[in-house]
Structure 1
């Protein structure tokens, strides 16, 4: 009797588990599970922020760093709401070569922002790297006697990653008889996925070149007056051809943590070589709130 009851109970359980679930109900169940996972991830971020005393901006920075370090983390973070567009920068390839007194190591990055392909941006980055490679190979090829010296090192860093822009800075050092540092910055509009120029930023301000140039001159004067070791190619009194007069509009730039525009000049461009690469932070009173 007891065995019959147990068998009936097992049969009823089996019939219950075999009841078909409508497709619409299954979709609702899966959507609920996915929603719960997202909410759990958000709670983890919020709890982490509270426990560590991080500000929201600092928490976002930490998450962005994690996204660039781990592809798995990046894929998970892309599903978290309100955090904004996740930008990822990875080394696409590295050109390395060593021949006698010649040496090259050029890291070539690739950018992806959200679900955009960013094909044009990455093509521009690779074209810039290919110019460096071509110049190196030209030096090697032309040195028939094998007595030359040439070294090129190029790497990159993310200097801006805010709600609006991603700025990828390419730092290159070329050493021949002496060394020279060069900087190329690709600032990308996250909304469009396109590289932006100073002209794009100031499309509604016709006199931006004069306004930015005047501010840079003011900074040059102030720095030279405060520090005898500072020197710029500016107001030499000899009307020298290399004296800085105004920007060209093609300068590299990025935005600092305060959203201020920073213009970057290559070594020897506006100052002697010992000054290295120089930067000028332009106050928002001149630029307006563009960063």
Structure 2
């Protein structure tokens, strides 16, 4: 590196860095906070300025790609402590997550039909979106297996769609509802509950990892709700206190699907036939804040 390059003024250097950085496809929230850190970093020492020059050269060799954006964020946190502190406040997934249809699987063969929406969460870690796609692939494999086994004879319909049921500062809950119709129908629900600060899917047992006794408390509350609903309405039926106790709902395993409603209350979701007869469909239980708190 030539000596004159090392004597670039802090202003020129940081301005050059700003222009380079603005072209990176990173979330707007991250960009605003990092640029604020850059503005405060104009009084940095010559040592910090040297790091800025090295950073710019590295970026030119790396290329302005999504991967380069991750390199930029990592190096900027080492470039200036103010930026590092700001980055600690940036969630892995933004306050308002954007969920899009990544692709749709469609098939119609005789009386067999499938329509499966496969969502993707923008700015989410690759492993998370991979898990969502793997779940969709399981549905596709089940459909294609039935189609192959029956050679297209008979009737079979599979429909799977998604919606966001929670999107707050901390959590994103992506719900995938699937209905399979053969001689009769069956509904199932899969909810991906994601901690935005880590970008990881959260299970019910992980939610209460510091309070494992909560699973027993929530189980007791669900049983209370079942008993209360059945006492109030003869048409309501659950697998609880039945003539076949071996099939009754026993307790939560910690792997059940769940989300948080608008009031921040925990909602546990069960597939059709899981805790109630088929005519009840897929059922849910909202857990009072006095039992589980709010989220």
Give the TM-score normalised by the residue count of structure 2.
0.69
Instruction: Note the residue ranges of structure 2 that are not aligned, 5 or more in a row.
Output: 1-8, 19-24, 34-88
SS in 2 for 1:229: coil
Cα distance in 2 for partners of 1:88, 1:129 equals: 19
SS in 1 for 2:117: strand
What residue number does 1:283 align with? 288
Shift of 1:288: 2.8
Cα distance in 2 for partners of 1:26, 1:78 equals: 21
Q: Are positions 1:216 and 2:222 aligned together? A: yes
Shift of 1:273: 1.2
Cα distance in 1 for partners of 2:211, 2:28 equals: 41
Q: Are positions 1:86 and 2:96 aligned together? A: yes
What residue number does 1:24 align with? 11
What residue number does 2:112 align with? 102
Shift of 1:86: 3.0
Shift of 1:232: 0.6
SS in 2 for 1:95: strand
User: Retained in 2: the 8 A contact 1:186–1:195?
Assistant: yes
Identify the structure with bigger relative contact order (alpha carbons < 8 Å, sequence gap 6+).
Answer: 2
Shift of 1:118: 1.5
SS in 2 for 1:87: coil
What residue number does 1:230 align with? 236
Please, what is the CA RMSD of the aligned residues? 2.7
Cα distance in 2 for partners of 1:227, 1:105 equals: 36
Shift of 1:239: 3.9
What residue number does 2:146 align with? 139
Aligned partner (choices 174, 179, 187) of residue 180 of structure 2:
174
Larger Rg: 1
Q: Are positions 1:195 and 2:196 aligned together? A: no
User: Retained in 1: the 8 A contact 2:238–2:275?
Assistant: yes
Aligned partner (choices 264, 269, 273) of residue 259 of structure 1:
264
User: Retained in 2: the 8 A contact 1:220–1:232?
Assistant: yes
* More displaced stretch, 223-232 vs 167-176: 223-232
Deviations 1:181-236 (A, max 9, x none): 11000000000000000111101112222111100001011111112221111101
What residue number does 1:126 align with? 133
Cα distance in 1 for partners of 2:95, 2:213 equals: 32
Cα distance in 1 for partners of 2:194, 2:279 equals: 31
Q: How many residues align?
A: 225
Instruction: Note the residue ranges of structure 1 that are not aligned, 5 or more in a row.
Output: 1-21, 32-71
Aligned partner (choices 170, 173, 177) of residue 164 of structure 1:
170
Deviations 1:101-144 (A, max 9, x none): 1000100000134xxx4111111111110010001111111113
Q: Alpha carbons of 1:75 and 1:205: their partners in 2 closer, same or farther (altered >3 Å)? A: closer
Shift of 1:274: 1.3
Cα distance in 2 for partners of 1:193, 1:282 equals: 25
User: Retained in 2: the 8 A contact 1:78–1:85?
Assistant: no
User: Retained in 1: the 8 A contact 2:104–2:118?
Assistant: yes
SS in 1 for 2:98: strand
Give the TM-score normalised by the residue count of structure 1.
0.70
Deviations 1:57-93 (A, max 9, x none): xxxxxxxxxxxxxxx9x96677678996231100111
Cα distance in 2 for partners of 1:140, 1:280 equals: 35
